[in-house]
């Protein structure tokens, strides 16, 4: 049966890596029917809105979307559409695996999964300037929100993910030494939920700065990591660096009623139009979408073809040390689908 999936190509390198991804998934026989919609800068020209109603309606109807990166203006302009989508559909769990596909690099056999709380923390967007005297921007403050509900459901998601996927350990990453209320609550809740999984899944916790250092020195001591929103944003880029960079890191945004799959990276304005962006992260996001739809055998075939293409080494994009383009790499993956 063919499943309808909302497809948002996105901005910058988005359209090129999306086209490559669709070619690979179609060639693998994924059996997906794409409903293409606009969002981000690309939507403003046509709809005068970065998040048109039609795009929201399509995701609401299909309940699954594959999304390219969306540009967010820095400092001024509209707020992040990525954050808006996560809020709109309450996509509370951001799942970001980092797995070695290019062997013989700085680290080998990395297999980590970061679970990031996706709706709270500093991303609630409660921030404002504080005026003093003549200076209307004398100070600025942002509010970090951690709720019992939000912390419980993300930590529970991490443990259930670990059980479902045969993982051994969950590490809760926090900053409860300094942020004693917000991060203290997150840690307390984590410790309590960990007791429910005792004997099945190991548990430990790490302060975020020490976790960053340990991830670089010895990533193998970790397995599944769970944390609040901002720490997850930062450490997932670090983890992408352990497996070859942002071109290799996919992500899933999961809620009860919808799920949106995307690469971890952004629209890479420095690469837009060059034709050499690595489509791997986006193709792997497509594989996570297939897993979600219960089509894991197809997803595994695509993952294996990617690994083979990278191992063969002749069609690599510059970020992986090659000199080939997005389309050539996609063609190499398709040739290895078997």
Interface residues with ligand NAD (CB under 6 A) are 13, 17, 69-72, 82, 246-247, 262, 265-271, 277-278, 281, 319
Q: What does the alpha-carbon distance between residue 110 and residue 100 come to, in Å, rounded to a whole number?
A: 5
Given 108, 160, 209, 300, the catalytic residue: 209
Q: What angle do CA 152, 228, 110 make, to 5 degrees?
A: 105
In the complex, the smallest distance separating the C-beta of residue 277 from ligand NAD, rounded to whole angstroms, is 4
Q: What does the alpha-carbon distance between residue 50 and residue 71 come to, in Å, rounded to a whole number?
A: 10
Question: What are the tokens at 99?
Answer: 């797995």
What residue is closest to ligand NAD based on CB?
266
Question: What are the tokens at 207?
Answer: 């302060």
CA count, 13 A, side-chain hemisphere, 156: 9
Number of H helices, E strands in the chain: 11, 12
Residue 175 appears among annotated catalytic residues: yes
Of 58 and 267, the one with the shorter C-beta distance to ligand NAD is: 267
In the complex, the smallest distance separating the C-beta of residue 281 from ligand NAD, rounded to whole angstroms, is 6
Beta-bridge mates of residue 66: 7, 261
Of 113 and 271, the one with the shorter C-beta distance to ligand NAD is: 271
Residue 116, Ramachandran bin (φ over 0: left; ψ between -120 and 50: alpha; else beta): beta
The helix/strand/coil state of 292 is helix
Beta-bridge mates of residue 65: 6, 260
In the complex, the smallest distance separating the C-beta of residue 51 from ligand NAD, rounded to whole angstroms, is 12
Residue 257 appears among annotated catalytic residues: no
Of 182 and 317, the one with the shorter C-beta distance to ligand NAD is: 317
Of 30 and 277, the one with the shorter C-beta distance to ligand NAD is: 277
Contact 60, 258 (CB under 8 A): yes
Residue 108 appears among annotated catalytic residues: no
In the complex, the smallest distance separating the C-beta of residue 224 from ligand NAD, rounded to whole angstroms, is 21
Of 190 and 263, the one with the shorter C-beta distance to ligand NAD is: 263
Handedness of CA 324, 326, 328, 331 (dihedral sign): positive
Beta-bridge mates of residue 135: 132
Handedness of CA 123, 112, 100, 107 (dihedral sign): positive
| Cα 303 → chain centroid | 17
Q: What does the alpha-carbon distance between residue 121 and residue 143 come to, in Å, rounded to a whole number?
A: 8
In the complex, the smallest distance separating the C-beta of residue 188 from ligand NAD, rounded to whole angstroms, is 30
Given 11, 92, 123, 157, the catalytic residue: 123
Of 158 and 248, the one with the shorter C-beta distance to ligand NAD is: 248
Of 86 and 174, the one with the shorter C-beta distance to ligand NAD is: 86
Given 161, 175, 197, 205, the catalytic residue: 175
Contact 239, 96 (CB under 8 A): yes
Residue 123 appears among annotated catalytic residues: yes
Contact 237, 112 (CB under 8 A): no
In the complex, the smallest distance separating the C-beta of residue 181 from ligand NAD, rounded to whole angstroms, is 29
In the complex, the smallest distance separating the C-beta of residue 246 from ligand NAD, rounded to whole angstroms, is 4
Task: Report, as residue numbers or ranges, the catalytic residues.
Answer: 123, 175, 209, 233
């Amino acid at each position: 049966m063919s499943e309808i999936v909302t497809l948002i190509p996105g901005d910058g390198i988005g359209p090129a890596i999306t086209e490559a991804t669709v070619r690979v998934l179609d060639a693998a026989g994924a059996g997906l029917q794409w409903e293409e919609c606009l969002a981000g800068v690309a939507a403003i020209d046509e709809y005068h809105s970065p998040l048109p109603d039609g795009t929201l309606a399509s995701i609401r109807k299909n309940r699954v979307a594959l999304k390219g990166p969306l540009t967010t203006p820095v400092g001024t302009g509209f707020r992040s559409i990525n954050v808006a989508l996560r809020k709109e559909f309450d996509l509370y769990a951001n799942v970001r695996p980092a797995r070695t596909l290019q062997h013989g690099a700085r680290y080998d056999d990395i297999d980590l999964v970061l679970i990031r709380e996706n709706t709270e923390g500093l991303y609630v967007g409660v921030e404002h300037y504080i005026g003093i005297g003549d200076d209307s921007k004398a100070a600025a403050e942002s509010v970090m929100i951690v709720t019992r509900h939000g912390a419980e459901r993300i930590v529970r998601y991490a443990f259930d993910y670990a059980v479902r996927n045969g993982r051994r350990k969950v590490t809760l990453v926090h900053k409860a030494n300094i942020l004693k209320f917000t991060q203290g609550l997150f840690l307390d809740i984590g410790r309590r939920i960990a007791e429910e999984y005792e004997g099945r899944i190991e548990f430990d916790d790490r302060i975020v700065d020490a976790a960053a250092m340990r991830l670089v020195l010895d990533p193998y001591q970790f397995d599944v990591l769970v944390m609040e929103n901002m720490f997850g944003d930062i450490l997932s880029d670090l983890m992408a660096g352990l497996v070859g960079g942002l071109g290799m890191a996919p992500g899933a945004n999961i809620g009860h009623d919808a799920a949106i799959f995307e690469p971890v990276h952004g629209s890479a304005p420095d690469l837009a139009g060059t034709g050499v962006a690595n489509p791997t992260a986006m193709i792997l996001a497509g594989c996570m979408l297939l897993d979600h739809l219960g089509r894991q055998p197809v997803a595994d075939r695509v993952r294996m073809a990617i690994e083979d293409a990278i191992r063969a080494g002749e069609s690599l994009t510059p970020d992986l040390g090659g000199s080939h383009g997005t389309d050539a790499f996609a063609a190499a993956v398709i040739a290895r689908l078997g």
